[in-house]
Structure 1
Amino acid sequence: MYRKDWASKWAEYTPNKVAVKEYRPARSLTYQELNNQANSLAHYLVHDLKVGKGERLMVLAEHSIEYVALFSMTQKTGITLVPVNFRLSVSEIDYLISDSEPRFLIAERKFEDLVSSLKSNIEVLWLDDLFSQLNNSEYQRFEAVELEEDHPAFILYTSGSTGFPKGAIYSHKMLLWNSLNTSQSLEITPSDLTINCMPPFHTGGWNVLVTPMLHRGATIGLMNKFDPDFLLELMEQEKSNLFMGVPTMLKMMADSERFKSVSLDAMRYFIVGGEALPLEVIDTWHRKGVKIRQGYGLTEVGPNLTSLHQDDAEQKIGSIGKPNFYVEYKIVDEQGRRVEPNEVGEFCLKGPMVTPGYWRNEEASQKAIVEGWFHTGDLVKEDNDGYLYVVDRKKCMFISGGENVYPAEIERVLRAVYGVDEAAVIGVKDAKWGEVGKAFVTMKPGCSFSESLLREHCANHLAKFKVPRHFEVLDELPKNGSGKIDRKNLA
């Protein structure tokens, strides 16, 4: 049992230091103000609304100062946050509500139409109304509760390889050790400033830089929407020295009109994840004087697990680098035996930053975590110098604009369309998004193929980024010797 309340510590050490700021409109909180707001929020939720330790609050909102205060509140109370992707369809959000059973849904007013369409019977707290309750000075004190190491700080839903999302438990222990790994690898200091563009419903929007920066008493700028021109201006203006983005963001920034004129002399490096960055993009940023650090992570572990030092970005193009400080790893074949250098095997990870499991899903937890090792499903190899490379994704997942997309989810939705017999989805190259979905379907006898019908059905039941960009009808799907769909023969 232990207490983890970072805001209160930095309120003691550097009370007037800016903890978090926004830009449109300009707002900020010092560490003292952040701690006061989190205390007030904790008092109101626990004492007035009777929300108990371990109960869930689902949040439907863009990143904001208020969202960071909600995180600080979780460290004080043991209330668990369930961030939800506001790009999801109504049916997808209803499923998450039924699975996590939150006490309240906290939502921004801008999502009122989406909230009103939900079929779930859940009480809604509007974000601005909730924070308007916190002006009473008697709420400024709150004694943090003791928390078990594996107590959930977040439940982060990942797209499901079986067709339904799984809630990865992100514990307070994971928060601590991910922060230590990140600070060691990236050399984060209290004088650092990052501008975060990653959304709050991803582990990347919290745990790549936001929570490690809060742990170190640094400053976080928040953009609730990615705008390449404005982001470049802010980086110059704020003298930001760390930035995390996905390859699509770096490509769009490099194509921006502001790219040539902006000065980024203060930038130590960019951290890039999600997929390998093409050499030409690395070269473009290197010529700009910005170094690139690529890495690897996933929601259930870390997420900051490996890092390729910026000096090796060109020499080891495509590598995810080497494991961070407290990360154990092994690469194994299908029999669980360790493979030799340059041989391909499944990437398995171990350490204090591994999830305790999936929310109310013991079967998935036991399948993923075997004797303490988390089986990622990613196929990697290690070269003779100890550098790691992702060769393939065992689970067929592809990445579209930084979003993980699992074909099984889309295929389940497609098979529900009248007349569809079989469905298979793969990721195909796309100049803007990196990859987009391509769906292949076969039709039952007497039924005709309608791309518009399939597209409309997907749009009604899936987030926009999951809707396939391309559709094709086949007489039959290719199968392998065991009768399973042979995705390698789809293109």
Structure 2
Amino acid sequence: MAATVGSALSWWARTKGGQPAVHVGNDTTTYGELAHWSSRLARRLAESGVAPGDRVGLLSPNAIQWPAAALAVIKSGAVLVPLNSRLKPAEIRKVADDAGITLVIAHPSHRESAERAAALGQPFAVLDFDVVDRLRVGAPDDFSVERPADDPIAVIFTSGSTGLSKGVILTTQTLLNIVLENTLTEDGFRPGSVALLVLPLAFTPGLVYGLLMTTVLGGSLIVEPELNPSRAVTLIEQHGVQALFGVPVIFESLSRATEFETADLSSLQTAIVGGAAVPVDLLHRWAAKGVMLRQIYGMTEAGGVATATLKSEALDHPDSCGSGSIFTEVRVMHEDGTLAGPGEQGEIVVRGPLVTPGYWNDPAATAEAIRDGWLHSGDIGTSDAEGRVKFVDRKKDLIISGGINISPVELETVIGKLPGVAEVAVIAVADERWGETPAAIITAAEGALDQSAVIAHCEEQLSDYKVPRYVVLRDDPLPRLPSGKLDKPAIRDEYRDVAARFSKAR
């Protein structure tokens, strides 16, 4: 059998079939059960007309059926398209059209959404989870269709933090490259590791670093239906969790749980955090528990994690994302294609075996993103003399006020340190005089702070031109993507008329 996810699953089923492979909530499936369950479903898909290379969507919140269905799609020779369970029918339709989906496997809670999406354009079939459930029990089966290592096994649509979603191709070869690179260093993943996932399975952290990484390495994956900080801390201790990954708000939430102070977290060997700036005090809070949080820089197009801070440098370089990896280069490049020197700003670029072959059915976007072997991230960064990369901001998030660039991340970091601020997003607002000006959208408890306190704090920390002219205080949490990142497009849309609705704070 070729080197595939299916062959890895078959090996672990033969050698340790009784070991738990995936836990979701209070349900567990072993390697033996998962291997046969996914093969029976893969055979069912093939018999129903799913052909190698067909795109099959999977629409479901975190559930025990999700891993079985995902692996079955891959085993059938089809291409898995994980669908965000929060998508509306029109959004599902857009992904279905972009990917050319012919079938969607839908959780009962999402079947109606799938059927409504199918009715909005070129029809696609909808397969209910009832079929998945029935095939959990049955005769042993090893059905699997082998495909070349460079053929796609999944198309992962980016979270759309910049407002544009594209389908990133994942091949077997790329996946195996990701696994290899993430297991070769002493700070990386290990065969047989227990990992905890408190993010959706349907995105890169859940699918690649959760399900597929665990399957190839023969580990155990604990999946939570939703983030419950107290329960998560308890699970780490109970199961001896060795790997945990997510955005800063996850590690922040766990560190504020009552159980955190007394919990034994010594089992955690790989704790990676990214997607937003990581407060230094959060690094120290976990370090006091013997856990060094490794800040990452990554994107779906670069395998999820292109670089991560070494444990030995985590506290000494709290704003660094590391300096690449064994086979992967992460550099800063000027617009003319020359590499930037230490301290010089430029675009973060990535080159190596983790980089996607391209975007699904979009050669123009592929050619724009991957040039001369370098993946152009669209992110602005700097590097120091030792090559450690620091993320500054996204190009498209920059606010250009009077011809001067203002980084929303810088403002968010400063405002986030103000007592009473639960979360903050800084966006651009049209301004007759300056072209654009910053607006700070802040979630805070009622009465915890006022506009004047925010302005005074910013004036102490920032140059005058960076201080936001609009400060909007709200009680509700800011919208977030399933990955945990702030949903900047949604925030911009909600406050697109901020100048008309709110008075300037200064």
Would the TM-score normalized by the shorter structure come out above 0.5? yes
1:156 aligned to 2:173? no
The answer for the alignment partner of 2:425 in structure 1 is 436
Cα 1:435/1:180, change in 2 over 3 Å: farther
Paired amino acid for 1:99:
D
Cα 1:291/1:60, change in 2 over 3 Å: same
Paired amino acid for 1:17:
Q
Q: 8 Å contact 1:342–1:383 — kept in the other structure?
A: yes
3-state secondary structure, aligned to 2:368: helix
Cα 1:178/1:269, change in 2 over 3 Å: closer
Q: 8 Å contact 2:331–2:383 — kept in the other structure?
A: no
CA distance in 1 between partners of 2:213 and 2:341 (Å) = 34
1:83 aligned to 2:82? yes
3-state secondary structure, aligned to 1:346: strand
The answer for the alignment partner of 1:171 in structure 2 is 171
TM superposition shift of 1:97: 1.5
Cα 1:369/1:396, change in 2 over 3 Å: same
CA distance in 2 between partners of 1:345 and 1:331 (Å) = 5
1:58-457 equivalent positions in 2, closer than 5 A: 58-115=57-114, 117-118=116-117, 119-120=119-120, 121-133=123-135, 135-137=137-139, 140-142=141-143, 144-159=144-159, 163-185=163-185, 186-396=187-397, 429=412, 434-436=423-425, 438=427, 440=429
CA distance in 2 between partners of 1:14 and 1:284 (Å) = 37
Using structure 1 for the length normalisation, give the TM-score: 0.80
- Unmatched runs of 5 consecutive residues or more in structure 2: 400-406, 433-477
3-state secondary structure, aligned to 1:43: helix
CA distance in 1 between partners of 2:62 and 2:16 (Å) = 24
Q: 8 Å contact 1:346–1:376 — kept in the other structure?
A: yes
1:467 aligned to 2:486? no
The answer for the alignment partner of 1:28 in structure 2 is 28
3-state secondary structure, aligned to 2:261: coil
Q: 8 Å contact 1:197–1:224 — kept in the other structure?
A: yes
| Greater Cα shift, 160-169 or 350-359 | 160-169
Residue by residue over 1:368-424, the C-alpha shift from the partner in whole angstroms, topping out at 9 and shown as x without a partner, is 1112221111222221222111122223289xxxxxxxxxxxxxxxxxxxxxxxxxx
TM superposition shift of 1:334: 0.8
Paired amino acid for 1:340:
G
1:55 aligned to 2:54? yes
Aligned length: 431
CA distance in 2 between partners of 1:372 and 1:281 (Å) = 36
| Greater Cα shift, 226-235 or 324-333 | 324-333
CA distance in 2 between partners of 1:277 and 1:246 (Å) = 9
The answer for the alignment partner of 1:421 in structure 2 is none
Q: 8 Å contact 1:332–1:339 — kept in the other structure?
A: yes
Q: C-alpha root-mean-square deviation of aligned residues, in Å? A: 3.1
3-state secondary structure, aligned to 1:392: strand
Q: 8 Å contact 1:439–1:472 — kept in the other structure?
A: no
Q: 8 Å contact 2:306–2:330 — kept in the other structure?
A: no
Residue by residue over 1:103-130, the C-alpha shift from the partner in whole angstroms, topping out at 9 and shown as x without a partner, is 1111111224533543433321112333
CA distance in 1 between partners of 2:353 and 2:171 (Å) = 10
Residue by residue over 1:244-298, the C-alpha shift from the partner in whole angstroms, topping out at 9 and shown as x without a partner, is 1210111111222222232223222421111231101111111222221111110
Q: 8 Å contact 2:245–2:271 — kept in the other structure?
A: yes
TM superposition shift of 1:193: 0.7
Cα 1:87/1:217, change in 2 over 3 Å: same
1:10 aligned to 2:12? yes
Residue by residue over 1:439-487, the C-alpha shift from the partner in whole angstroms, topping out at 9 and shown as x without a partner, is 74699xxxxxxxxxxxxxxx9xx99945326454448xxxxxxxxxxxx
CA distance in 2 between partners of 1:392 and 1:260 (Å) = 34
| Greater Cα shift, 196-205 or 122-131 | 122-131
Q: 8 Å contact 1:297–1:306 — kept in the other structure?
A: yes
Cα 1:434/1:211, change in 2 over 3 Å: farther
CA distance in 2 between partners of 1:290 and 1:134 (Å) = 38
Paired amino acid for 2:212:
T
3-state secondary structure, aligned to 1:262: coil
Q: 8 Å contact 1:349–1:375 — kept in the other structure?
A: yes
3-state secondary structure, aligned to 2:205: helix
Paired amino acid for 1:8:
S
- Unmatched runs of 5 consecutive residues or more in structure 1: 399-424, 444-458, 476-489
3-state secondary structure, aligned to 2:348: strand
| Greater Cα shift, 223-232 or 182-191 | 182-191
3-state secondary structure, aligned to 1:263: coil
Q: 8 Å contact 1:198–1:204 — kept in the other structure?
A: yes
3-state secondary structure, aligned to 1:214: helix
3-state secondary structure, aligned to 1:349: strand
Q: 8 Å contact 2:244–2:272 — kept in the other structure?
A: yes
Cα 1:397/1:288, change in 2 over 3 Å: farther
Paired amino acid for 1:183:
T
Residue by residue over 1:36-84, the C-alpha shift from the partner in whole angstroms, topping out at 9 and shown as x without a partner, is 112111111112x120111011111123332222333344332111111
CA distance in 1 between partners of 2:125 and 2:360 (Å) = 22
TM superposition shift of 1:183: 1.4
Paired amino acid for 2:213:
P
Paired amino acid for 1:233:
T
Q: 8 Å contact 2:342–2:385 — kept in the other structure?
A: yes
CA distance in 2 between partners of 1:85 and 1:397 (Å) = 27
CA distance in 1 between partners of 2:73 and 2:163 (Å) = 30
CA distance in 1 between partners of 2:171 and 2:86 (Å) = 25
CA distance in 1 between partners of 2:398 and 2:41 (Å) = 38
Using structure 2 for the length normalisation, give the TM-score: 0.78
TM superposition shift of 1:12: 2.4
Identity %: 28
3-state secondary structure, aligned to 1:249: helix
Cα 1:107/1:74, change in 2 over 3 Å: closer
TM superposition shift of 1:336: 0.3
3-state secondary structure, aligned to 1:226: coil
